[in-house]
Every structure is written in C-alpha cells, then in structure tokens.
Amino acid sequence: MRAIIRVSDGLDWLLRRLAAGCFVGMLVFVSIQVVARYILREPPTWTEELARFAMVWGGLLGATVAYKSQYDPVLIRLSDRNSAFLRWAMRLIRLAAPPIFLGPVLYFSIFGPNMDMARGFLGRSALRTADTLGFPMIYIALAVPIAACAILIHWLARFGEEATGDDPSID
C-alpha cells in the first residue's frame, strides 16, 4: 500500500508541472497566432490546433491534480454525526464511482471490438492525421487514457488510505 501511495504522490508532482506547462504552451501558441496575423505574409496554420491540443492535455492533466487534491466539487457533504455503519457504506459508494466512470474510458481507449487494440480509441487515432500539424492524432488522444489511468492510481492510493486510516475525512 505504501508503494502505491508513493507512486501516486510522485505522479502528482510530475503531472502538476506538465499541466502548468501545457497552459503556458497554449498561451504561447495563441500569442503566435495573433502576432503572425499582423506581421507575416504566410501565417502558420498550426497555431489554432496546437493551442487546442495544449488545452486538452492541460485540462485533463489538471483533472488528475484536482482529483488528487480533492478539489472536485461535491454537492452534498455528510455530517459526522451519522452512524459508523452509514459512514462506512457511504465511503464505499463514494469509492465506487471513479472506477465505474473511468474504467470503461480506459478500457475502450485501449481495446476495440473483440479486444482488438488496433481498433481501440488509441489505435483509431493513430490512423488519423491532425488537420494542420500532420502528425497522428494519437499524441493528443493519449491524454484521455493517461488522465484516466492517473486518476485510477490516485484512487488506489486513496482507497489504501481510507481502508487503513480509522476516520477518513469526508471531503
């Protein structure tokens, strides 16, 4: 369990920096687009697409950081006055949600029909070319399974903490 928690912490350290970097990239690409419009006779065509891709990566990596720092908004918070059994049941339900959502996302990113990897989301995007950049879409599409995978690793670590800790915080 300790190992998972360490992996999760290290991963978060890395992804935080990558996410911040993506947003800087997005800023730079849009700036190039604006500047190029007024000074270049042949403005680069890839600025819009690259900026969008930086946002997709940044936003999805940001989602992993949000999960790790428990920043995802919650509509209903339980009071501590509930019975121990109720709190235990609620904790289980809460822990069930992320894998139910992200499990299929991860699975179908990798596998297509008949568990054929070439026809999964990643396999399909490897065959498609980005509109202006000319490289395969898989470099961008990877953001989806990587974010899902990272959140599931953080989830395992939280599962470990909540299972071993005696009174987990509700947040």
Partner 1 sequence: EVKIAHDSPADPEGSGTYVWGHAFAEHLKANGMDAKEYERGSLGEEAERLDQVSQGLLEVSMSDVKSAGKVDKLIFGAYLPYLFDDIDHLDRAMNDAGLMAEINKRVKQGGIRVLALTALGPPSGIFNTKKPVETVADMADLRMRALDESQIALFKTWGTTGTIVSWAEVPNALQTGVADGYINPVFVPVMFGHTDFIKYFTDAKLTNAVRLAIASSDWYDGLSDKERGIVDAATVAATKANREWLAARESKMIEEVKAAGVAVTYLTPEARAEFVERSKQTYSDGVLSPEDAKLWIDASASTK
Partner 2 sequence: MGWAVVVSMVIFLVSGTAIAYVAGASTVLAYLASDKSRYLAILPQRIFAQLDVFALMAMPLFILTGEIMNRAGITKALIDFSMSVVGRLKGGLGHVNIMTSVFFAGISGSAVADAAALSNTLVPAMEEQGYKRIYAAAVTAASSVIGPIIPPSIILIIYGALMETSVAALFVAGIIPGLLLAFVLFAVNAFYAYRDNHPGGRNADLPPFWPSFVKAAPALALPIIIVGGIIFGVVTPTEAATLSVVTATLVGMLYGGIDRSVIWEALTRTAILSGAIFIILSAVACLGYLAGLLQWPQQLGNLVAAGGFSGLEYLLVMNLIFLIAGMIMDVPVALTLLVPILAPVALQQGIDPVHLGIVLCFNLCIGLITPPLGGCLIVTSTVAKVNYWELARAVLPFALAELVVLGCLVLIPELSLFLPRLAGFVSR
Residues that bind partner 2 (CB under 8 A): 16, 19-20, 22-24, 26-27, 30-31, 33-34, 48, 51-53, 55-56, 58-67, 69, 71-78, 89-91, 93-94, 96-98, 100-105, 108-109, 112-113, 121, 140-141, 143-145, 170
Count other C-beta atoms under 10 Å from residue 162's C-beta. 15
**Minimum distance of partner 2 from residue 157's CB (angstroms):** 16
> Residue 84 binds which one of partner 1, partner 2, none, with CB within 5 to 8 A depending on kind?
none
Q: Are 65 and 9 in contact (CB under 8 A)?
A: no
> Residue 45 binds which one of partner 2, partner 1, none, with CB within 5 to 8 A depending on kind?
partner 1
Q: Which is nearer to partner 1, 143 or 150 (CB)?
A: 143
Angle at 51 between CA 46 and CA 55, to 5 degrees: 150
Q: Which is nearer to partner 2, 112 or 160 (CB)?
A: 112
Q: Is 132 in the site for partner 1 (CB under 8 A)?
A: yes
- Answer for which of 24, 35, 131, 164 binds partner 1 (CB under 8 A) is 131
Contacts of 87 (CB under 8 A, 6+ apart): 78, 80
Q: Which is nearer to partner 2, 3 or 82 (CB)?
A: 82
Q: Is 42 in the site for partner 1 (CB under 8 A)?
A: yes
C-alpha–C-alpha distance, residues 130 and 140, integer Å:
9
What's the sign of the alpha-carbon dihedral 138, 60, 131, 31? negative
Rounded-to-10 torsion of CA 24, 136, 65, 153: -160
Q: Which is nearer to partner 1, 48 or 162 (CB)?
A: 48
Count other C-beta atoms under 10 Å from residue 49's C-beta. 15
